[in-house]
Structures are given as C-alpha cells and as structure tokens.
Structure 1
Amino acid sequence: MTEESLETYLRARRDAGRALLVPYVTGGLTDDWLAYVRAYADAGADAVEIGLPFSDPMLDGGTIQEASDRALRRGVTPDRLLDEIASAAVEVPLVVMTYSNIVFRAGAKAFCARLAEAGVSGLVVPDVPHDEAGSLSVAATAAGIDLVLLAAPSTPPARLRSIAEESRGFIYGVTVMGTTGERASMPDSARSVAARLRELTTRPVLLGFGISTPEHAVEACRHADGVVVASALMRRVLDGATPAEVGSDVAAIRRALDTQVTASADALRQALGNEGR
C-alpha cells in the first residue's frame, strides 16, 4: 500500500499518460479473497476497490448482491475484513466501498480511523448524498482518507459542480441510471457524464457500472481517465475462477488500455509531424 494519498497517486499516473484501472473484489467472498487483490495489483491495477459486504446493497445488481450474500454467509464482519486488509501487502492504493449503515453504526470518525489503520486510502459510500456527507467528509479528511463521490448521468449542473469540487481521490462517474451489473455495450450516457465532469475538474474521472470487457474499458477511456470493473470480475469468482485466472482478465484489460494509449500517442505524434511539414 502506497503512502501517497489516493488522489496524488492516481493523478501522477494519469498525468504520465496512463489510463487508470480499478478492479473490484467483495471482501471475504472466498477464503483466499486477498489473493485476488494481489493478482489485480500484479496484473497492472492502479488501485483496488474492496467491497465490505452489506445485507441490503441497494446500488448493486444481482452479481454483487450474490457476492455479498455469499461473503456474509461465511460470517465475515467489517472488523475482520479490515484486519485482513491490513495484511494485504500490495503496492497500490486500496479503496473501500460500503454502505452508510456500516459507517455510521461505528461512527464516521472511528470508522475512518479504522480504515487508516488498515492502510486504506479511499472510501466510497454510495448511499450518502454529497450534501449530507459533511460529517463523513470531515472524518475522512482527518484520517487521511479520500472520500470519493459519485455522479450520475441525471445529476443537474449545480450539483455536478459541487460533486466535482468536493470529491477526493477521483470522481466516480456512473454510466447508467441503474444498479451495477454486466452489460452488452457502453451507453451514450457514459460519454456524457464523463465529458461534463472533465469540464469542471482536473481530478481523475473514472467510469463504472457495466464496464465488462476490455473493449468497454477502451471505449470508456476515450472519454474518461479510467474505469472501475466490478460485476464482470465477481461473476468469474462466483463461477469458481481462481485468483490467477481473474488476474489474467484484469491483465487483458490493462493490455487493451495500454495499447489504446500507445496508438493514440502515435497518432498524435504523426499528426504533429505532418503539421510541421
């Protein structure tokens, strides 16, 4: 786990020309769930999002719900998972995603301090609206945790500006009006939300919800700074794929993004060369 803030780390990578890749795993889904975190890091992830399972994950579709249910049936708890996260020993930032019930049951200050002790760099709490996140934002900042806010395709301009200003780490652009889940194609709304956000901020903008294939990731990164990939990977784990196999899936996305970045850079150099003739 890096000692830099999540935002500093991601900005540096983005500014160096890298498309950002943040894969997700449900904490406690399997006995060896941390092996998936390490496989993601080895495969070229820029950060890893870890879900703390909750019994009523309202923003998650069927796949993540199934993963959360399976983890909860194994008896996992937030404290136990944070103890395990502390031993992860990876060199990329870790971002915890969970729901407000878990955060506020412990108390925002105590929860964020606990994240910091475990070496976590960022926090996503999708059921806390940004205009109700004051105490959580204060607690996160005090603990050195970047509180990541979400922006949807329907977010009105004034609210979008506030989210862009107040989010830390990155801004999580939601591609669709719906829950998480695998999808066959990238919706037009993904391009729209990314473009609107990038007009408002230099903070990294990552798109998530339905990014299921390397092709989706490449398309998303034509408009945003990176992607979060969740349900497609969790479906593989639920179906029995090993850490090495799911790591290979992440590596395939990484290769596709790197190839696209290289091709774009080559095209730009060629265009500039032609202008100079």
Structure 2
Amino acid sequence: MSDLKRLFATLAQQNRKALMPFVTAGDPDIATTAAVIQAAQAAGADLCEVGVPYSDPIADGPVIQASYQRALDAGFRLQNVFDLGRDLQTGGTGAVMMPRVTMVSYSIIYRIGIAKYVERAKAAGYSGAIVPDLLVEEAAPLSQICRDADFDLIQLVTPTTTRDRQRRIADLTTGFLYYVSVTGITGERTALPTNLVDNVSWLREQTDLPICIGFGISGPETAAQLAPIADGLIVGSAVVRRIAEATRNAQQTGGDSAAAAAEVVGKFCGELRQAIDEAVVHASA
C-alpha cells in the first residue's frame, strides 16, 4: 500500500480532510523550505506538495511563477529537491513524517529518464509526483513505472476537461485526483465556481480515488467552503505569498528569514486546519 493510500484511508476513518500546503523548493533557499515544511506539519498539515522550479511553469499564476524564478536565480538544481527530501526524512531539526509529493514538469522527468526520476524521488522520501503537463495519451508508461514502484502518479482534472477524458485520467492516476477548482492559473480567489459541487460529485461517482481540490483557495473561509465536498485541500499561492512577504520583511530588519517564514506559514496552516475541521464537523451534524 502506498503512503498516500494509507494516509487517505486513515483520514477517512477519522472523518478528516487532508490539508496539503504547496511550497516551492529553494524559495528563497532550501533551508527555508525545510523549516516551512516542518512548521506546516506541526500545525496540522497532512501532506506537502513540493514544487520543482521550472523556467516555463504550466498553469502557475504570478505568485508561484515568481517563486520559481527566485529559486532559479539563487542557483536551484534538481538535486536540491532530492537532498531536501532526504534531509526531511532524517530530521535535522525534527523529522517530517507526513508524505511529500513533487509538483514537477514532465519535461524534467523525461529529461533524466522516467524510471530514474521515480527511483531517485522515492529514495529521497517522496511518495508521489503531480505532473501537470503530462497528457493522458502519454501517461501510460510513467503510470506503470509508478505503480510498480508503489510511487503515486497524481494527475489533474480541470473544469474544461471532457468527462470521457476525466475517466481516462482517473484510470491512470493513483494516490488522489487533483481537481482544479477554477479555469485558468493558480492564485487566490474570494469566490469559487457555482458548478464546482456538481462537477466534483459527478467525478466522485466515476472513481474510488480521493479527490483533492486546488487552485483558488485563499484562506480559512474558502477552505471551509470546500472541505465538505473534498477529500483534501491544496493551498499554494496563499502559502507562497506569505513565505515571500515574511522573508522579505526579515531581510529588511536583519531577522532570521527561515524562522520568520516558518512562523507565518505555521500560523496560517493552523488557521486552515481549524477551519477545515470545524466545517467537516458542522457538515456531519
């Protein structure tokens, strides 16, 4: 049983929903990324999505694009992601037990070899990969390698994905399905589509996979709105923006930027955790 399958089975037994923050590896440096992930776990996050910086990101809005560029400008290399994973496992300042998955472009995986990427990522402690630019027509080889390695391949479904294509994507996905809540790029939003509930309800009838919703979750209020219909919530731009603001403020005042970012993200994840849990309890009452 994969790490993610085990996690979602446990959460379902507890009537809890997964909280998954997104962080960009190496923004502004790997030490800060590690500190933020540790703080998120301590605040109640269940798993973490680690973005692999890429010069031509797919579907990412300006906040995450800027974080990728900051990491690349600072000298980020793919090996840094694997080193980060191993460091989190051994726990220099506290081991991270929650699963981590990479958000990575297929071009990066293809360039180093799909079997080699899966082998290296799993050896570094990652439980799966979200591959946003992998076409369903080309997904079978990677899907099979991931299944053989007990390493989850998570794929995205969008509001404009045809229903036949959604079924095909679900067939080649393990771990969970990433449902994109809005049409367009990542970013914080105050209002979500009115047909979101119907779309997720239909998708749930097509697959036994957990469905996690991402894009557009700006804070506790939107998280609470989505918690009753999702198995997990992915919060990206709102986390990345807080990291950027905290590190910038700390640098201007001569403070510890890693500690500042960790504190801010830990507080935010705690607020999200509370909102999600309260919404689930209220929906179950």
Structure-to-structure mapping, 1:84-123, within 5 angstroms:
84-88=84-88, 89-123=95-129
The answer to whether the aligner puts 1:79 opposite 2:79 as a matched pair is yes
Q: Displacement of 1:14 after TM fit?
A: 2.5
The answer to whether the aligner puts 1:220 opposite 2:218 as a matched pair is no
1:233 to 235, 239, 242: 239
Match of 2:276 in 1: 257
Equivalent pairs counted in the alignment come to: 264
Partners of 2:156 and 2:13 lie apart in 1 by 22
State, as a whole percentage, how many aligned pairs show the same letter. 38
Q: Displacement of 1:4 after TM fit?
A: 4.8
Write the letter of the residue equivalent to 1:259.
E
**TM-score after normalising by structure 1:** 0.91
Change (3 A) 1:212 1:198: same
**TM-score after normalising by structure 2:** 0.89
Match of 1:244 in 2: 263
Partners of 2:276 and 2:139 lie apart in 1 by 33
Greater helix share, structure number: 2
Structure-to-structure mapping, 1:96-245, within 5 angstroms:
96-240=102-246, 242-245=261-264
1:20 to 12, 15, 18: 18
2:44, 2:270 within 8 Å by CA — same for their partners in 1? Answer: yes
**Structure 2 runs not aligned, ≥5 long:** 89-94, 247-259
Give 3-state SS (helix, strand or coil) of 1:11's partner.
Answer: helix
1:174, 1:190 within 8 Å by CA — same for their partners in 2? Answer: no
Between 1:103-112 and 1:154-163, the stretch displaced more is 154-163
**Structure 1 runs not aligned, ≥5 long:** 268-277
* CA deviation vs aligned residue, 1:4-42 (integer Å, no higher than 9, x gap): 521221232123200111111000102321111111111
Q: Displacement of 1:91 after TM fit?
A: 1.1
* CA deviation vs aligned residue, 1:22-78 (integer Å, no higher than 9, x gap): 111000102321111111111111110000100000210100000000011110111
* CA deviation vs aligned residue, 1:61-98 (integer Å, no higher than 9, x gap): 10000000001111011112211211112111001001
Between 1:241-250 and 1:69-78, the stretch displaced more is 241-250
**Aligned CA-pair RMSD:** 1.5
Partners of 2:202 and 2:266 lie apart in 1 by 32
Give 3-state SS (helix, strand or coil) of 1:86's partner.
Answer: helix
Q: Displacement of 1:189 after TM fit?
A: 4.0
